[in-house]
Amino acid sequence: MVFWISAILIGIGVYGLLTQKNLFKQLISLSIIDTAVNIFIIAVGYVDNGKAPIYSKAVPKFMEGAFVDPLPQALVLTAIVIGVGVLALGASLLVKVKEKHSSIDVENMKGVGE
C-alpha cells in the first residue's frame, strides 16, 4: 500500500515534469519524485511489528524480526541529502536563468535559440 502511494507520487511527479512549463514547478516535481522514491525504499525494508533499529534499554537484544531493515534507511539518509544538494543547485541555476532569459517559463524565455 505504501508502495502504491510512492508509485502514484512518482506518477504525479512525472506528470508535473511533463506538463509544467515553469521550470520551478519542474524542480518541485523532481523533489516530489525524490520523496516518493525515498518512501519506496523505506517501505522495502519495513517489517511488520518491527522496531526502529536502535538498541536501547527497551530492546537490548538482537532478535529475528524485532527490527526493521536498517540498510534502506541508511541509503535513504544518503539519498535525501543528495536530493537536497541537487535541488539547491537547480534552484540557484534557476535564479540565474531568470536573470539571463528574463523568465523561467519555457515559453517566455528569451534568447534560448537553437
Partner 1 sequence: MFTLLVALLIFSVVNYFISKASWRVGSIINALIGSYLIFQVFTIPKGTEVTIGKFLGETLALQWTNAGFYFSFVSLLVIVAVMFFAIKWLDSQKHPAAFNMFILMVTAGSLGVFMAKDLITLYIFWEIAVLSSMLIIPMGKKESRKAAVVYAVMSAVGTYMFLYGAFMIYSRYGTFSMPEIAKNLANDPSTSFKVAVVLLIAAAGIAKSGIFPLHTWLRIAHGNAPDAFSAVLSGQLVKLGSYVLMISVAVFPSLKIFANLKLYSGVPAPNYFLIALGAASIIIGTLMAIKQDDMKMLIAYSSVANGGYILVGIGTMDPLGFEGGVLHVFNHALAAAVIFMAFASVVYRTHTKKISELGGLIHKMPITYIAYLFAIISLAGIPPMSGFISKWMIYQALVRKGMFITAAIAFFGSIGSFLYVFRPLAGVFLGQLPRKYKDVKEVPPIMWIPMLVLVAISFVMGVWPFPILQPIENMRADFGIAPSFKIADAQNWLVRGFSGSWNPVIVFNLFITGFIVAYILYTLFPKPKKVDLLKPHKEEGAPINIYTSGEFIYTPELYHYNTKFYAGFERMYEKHPSWEKLLYMLAKFFHDVGEWIHGWFFRPSPSAYTFWLAMTILIIFWVRW
Partner 2 sequence: MRRFYAILIAAALVYMLISFISTVPSYGKADLKERVSDAFLSKSVNAQNTKAWMEGKAIHRQPAKEIYGKKVKEEGSANVVTSIVVNYRSFDTLGEVTVLFTAALGVGLILGGSRRKQYGREANFVLKTSTGILVPLIIMFGAYIFVHGHLTPGGGFPGGTIIAMASLLLYLSDEKFFLSKASTGALEGSMGGTYVIIGLLGLAIGGYFLYNFLPNGVVGNLVSAGIVPLVYVAIGLKVGAELSGLVTDLHSEKEG
Partner 3 sequence: MMNYLIILAGAMMIIAAVFAVEAKKILDAVIAMSVVSLVSVFLFIAMRAPDVAITEASVGAGLVTAVFLVSLFKMKGGDEQ
From the list partner 3, partner 1, partner 2, none, partner contacted by residue 22 (C-beta under 5 to 8 A by kind): partner 3
By CB atoms closer than 10 A (0-12, 13-18, 19+), residue 38 is buried
CA angle 9-11-14, nearest 5°? 110
- Main-chain phi, psi angles of 3, to 5 degrees: -60, -45
R_g (Cα) of the chain, nearest Å: 20
Distance in Å, CB of 16 to partner 3, minimum: 4
Quote the CA–CA distance of 70 and 77 in Å, as a whole number: 11
Nearest to 5 by CA among 40, 32, 41: 40
| Interacting residues with partner 2 (CB under 8 A) | 1-4, 7-8, 10-12, 14-15, 18-19, 43-48, 52-57, 59-65, 67-71, 73-75, 77-78, 80-82, 84-86, 88-89, 92-93, 95-96
| Interacting residues with partner 3 (CB under 8 A) | 1-2, 4-5, 8-9, 12-13, 15-16, 19-20, 22, 24-25, 27-29, 31-32, 34-35, 38-39, 42-43, 45-46, 50-54, 67-68, 73, 76-77, 80-81, 83-84, 87-88, 91-92, 94-95, 98-99, 103-105, 108
